[in-house]
């Protein structure tokens, strides 16, 4: 859809009363709000993620990020209004929204609306192409707002590796207004699919359980059947949802779910080579787009409008001793050394490997005698199941 079509068919988001200096983003675009800002126009129809963080009067301190997904129809106008008491955007009554929609279509708001940057739309589509309306409705929290404000239990008491603890600390420092024990902030997080750490089968003998837990293929098959109705794209949609919630919405819960799904898929031995080669080809493309975007953002994210968890990606998340490096190392060895492998999967795997080698200097050559080390607190490290005494 070109610019002329977007003027006619593009959707519009109207945001009334957002305080000046608020950091405001849609998809991969983020900026600081000026005094006349009232929304975004010429938005391509489809799935989008809106996120914002209000500041103090001087624009030097920011509140926790709040984000939400929208599924826009052609020419649709959605209106939200700033609630100064709750410090967030809230929906307006339907009659009021219809009145503003007529004003937008008669161009009364045109000079207050910033145009959607179409040059960045392709990048956004690569990050969200498996997210559908049904994916959003299945996962989004009550009320739709995704924010670390609703995750105090994860920040304070959840079991975390050293890297995740560093992320928690960074989010606390970046968002000093996060509550820790206020009863009014009940659990309103996302409804992510539970990814078990261990496979447990009643009556199974020890060495069979160990084998099942070293190759996650049977766990993947079980989750695809029970949670996603055998629809692989729903799993990929949840992976993208969690990544966007984390990277743009600063959600620790989103990061933990993204990590759990990555661990599940990279922990499979049989699936990528035989039963689920098509799923793993798509997974490689999704992960490539996510990491490439994170790396590019890390290199250019030096303005207030670009700050966020990306600094942790630079330091710990993408370090050579991170969980991701170890998982990739084992997976690349599995696929690239297999005697028979799907051609598309091989191409996509090599592409991801090259990205990590050239961008981060990661080394994946592993001799047979090399040991693989995991963070001692990593709940997703390989498990050997011992027989009961």
DSSP string, 50-110: EEEE-B-TTSS-BPPPEEEEEEEPTT-EEEEEEETTTTEEEE--HHHHHHHHHHHHTTTTG
CATH hierarchy code of domain 3-121: 2.60.34.20
Residue 208 has a pLDDT of 46
Please provide residue 186's backbone torsions phi and psi, each rounded to the nearest 5 degrees: -75, 165
Instruction: Say yes or no to pLDDT of 31 above 80.
Output: yes
Band (307; pLDDT cuts 50, 70, 90): very low
Q: Taking the CB of residue 76, how many other CB atoms lie within 10 A of it?
A: 16
Q: How far apart are CA 301 and CA 299, in angstroms?
A: 6
Band (113; pLDDT cuts 50, 70, 90): very high
Instruction: Say yes or no to pLDDT of 155 above 60.
Output: no
Band (125; pLDDT cuts 50, 70, 90): very high
Mean pLDDT of 143-166: 69
Nearest to 349 by CA among 370, 335, 329, 368: 335
Q: How far apart are CA 240 and CA 129, in angstroms?
A: 8
The pLDDT tens digits of the residues spanning 188-226 come to: 789 999 998 765 555 444 444 444 457 899 999 999 999
For the chain, the maximum distance between any two Cα atoms, rounded to a whole number of angstroms, is: 77
Instruction: Say yes or no to pLDDT of 370 above 80.
Output: no
Question: For residue 170, what are its two tokens?
Answer: 């960074």
Residue 62 has a pLDDT of 78
Q: Which residues pair with 26 in a beta bridge?
A: 29, 50
Burial 191-228 (b: 16+ CB within 10 A, else e): ebbebeeebeeeeeeeeebbebbebbbbbbbebbeebb
Better-scored residue on pLDDT, 7 or 201:
7
Better-scored residue on pLDDT, 195 or 163:
195
The pLDDT tens digits of the residues spanning 67-85 come to: 999 999 999 999 999 998 8
- Three-state secondary structure call for residue 198: coil
Question: For residue 385, what are its two tokens?
Answer: 């199941």
Residue 294 has a pLDDT of 87
The DSSP bridge pattern shows strands 146-147 and 66-72 to be antiparallel
Q: How far apart are CA 123 and CA 119, in angstroms?
A: 8
Nearest to 12 by CA among 161, 112, 89: 112
Q: How far apart are CA 74 and CA 45, in angstroms?
A: 5
Mean pLDDT of 116-122: 93
Residue 185 has a pLDDT of 45
* Stated length of the chain: 389
Residue 180 has a pLDDT of 46
Band (323; pLDDT cuts 50, 70, 90): confident
Residue 231 has a pLDDT of 94
Q: How far apart are CA 349 and CA 180, in angstroms?
A: 42
What architecture is domain 147-360? Alpha Horseshoe (1.25)
Q: How far apart are CA 29 and CA 333, in angstroms?
A: 37
Better-scored residue on pLDDT, 45 or 6:
45
Tell how far CA 18 is from the center of its chain: 25
Please provide residue 151's backbone torsions phi and psi, each rounded to the nearest 5 degrees: -125, 35
Average pLDDT, the chain: 80
Instruction: Say yes or no to pLDDT of 385 above 60.
Output: no
Residue 169 has a pLDDT of 64
The DSSP bridge pattern shows strands 46-53 and 66-72 to be antiparallel
* E strand or H helix at 30: strand 29-32
The pLDDT tens digits of the residues spanning 126-143 come to: 999 999 999 999 999 988
Residue 58 has a pLDDT of 61
Residue 387 has a pLDDT of 36
Better-scored residue on pLDDT, 119 or 55:
119
Which CA distances in Å does 46 have to 10, 129, 198, 209, 352? 10, 10, 37, 44, 28
Instruction: Say yes or no to pLDDT of 106 above 70.
Output: yes
The answer to pTM > 0.85 is no
- Three-state secondary structure call for residue 337: coil
The pLDDT tens digits of the residues spanning 231-271 come to: 999 999 999 999 999 999 988 899 999 999 999 999 999 99
Instruction: Say yes or no to pLDDT of 328 above 70.
Output: yes
Residue ranges of the domains in the chain?
Answer: 3-121, 147-360
Nearest to 283 by CA among 232, 330, 354, 248: 232
Q: Taking the CB of residue 316, how many other CB atoms lie within 10 A of it?
A: 18
Mean pLDDT of 351-356: 94
Better-scored residue on pLDDT, 166 or 31:
31
Which CA distances in Å does 206 have to 10, 47, 197? 59, 46, 16
């Amino acid at each position: 859809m070109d610019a002329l079509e977007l003027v006619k068919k593009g959707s519009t988001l109207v945001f009334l009363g957002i305080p000046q200096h608020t950091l405001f983003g849609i998809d991969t675009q983020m900026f600081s709000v000026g005094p006349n800002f009232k929304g975004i126009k010429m938005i391509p129809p489809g799935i989008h993620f809106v996120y914002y963080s209000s500041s103090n009067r001087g624009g030097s301190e920011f509140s926790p990020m709040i984000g939400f997904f929208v599924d826009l129809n052609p020419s649709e106008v959605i209106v939200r209004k700033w609630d100064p008491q709750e410090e967030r955007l809230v929906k307006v009554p339907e009659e009021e929204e219809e009145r503003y929609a007529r004003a937008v279509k008669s161009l009364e708001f045109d000079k207050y609306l910033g145009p959607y940057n179409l040059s960045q739309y392709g990048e956004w589509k690569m990050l969200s192409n498996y997210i559908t309306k049904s994916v959003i409705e299945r996962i989004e929290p009550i009320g739709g707002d995704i924010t670390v404000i609703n995750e105090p239990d994860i920040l304070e008491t959840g079991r975390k590796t050293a890297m995740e603890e560093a992320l928690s600390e960074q989010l606390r420092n970046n968002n000093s207004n996060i509550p820790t024990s206020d009863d009014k902030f009940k659990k309103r997080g996302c409804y992510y699919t539970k990814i078990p750490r261990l496979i447990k089968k009643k009556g199974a003998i020890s060495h069979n359980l160990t084998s099942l837990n070293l190759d996650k293929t049977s766990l993947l098959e079980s989750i695809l059947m029970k949670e996603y109705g055998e629809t692989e794209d729903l799993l990929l949609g949840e992976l993208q949802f969690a990544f966007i919630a984390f990277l743009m919405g600063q959600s620790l819960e989103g990061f933990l779910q993204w990590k759990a799904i990555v661990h599940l898929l990279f922990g499979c031995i049989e699936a990528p080579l035989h039963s689920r080669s098509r799923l793993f080809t798509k997974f490689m493309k999704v992960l490539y787009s996510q990491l490439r975007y994170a790396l590019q953002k890390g290199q250019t994210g030096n303005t207030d409008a670009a700050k966020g968890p990306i600094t942790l990606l630079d330091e710990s998340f993408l370090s050579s001793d991170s969980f991701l490096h170890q998982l990739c190392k084992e997976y690349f060895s599995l696929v690239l050394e297999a005697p028979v492998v799907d051609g598309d999967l091989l191409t996509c795997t090599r592409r991801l490997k090259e990205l990590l080698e050239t961008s981060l200097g990661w080394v994946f050559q592993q001799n047979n005698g090399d040991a693989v080390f995991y963070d001692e607190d990593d709940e997703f490290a390989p498990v050997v199941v011992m027989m009961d005494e």
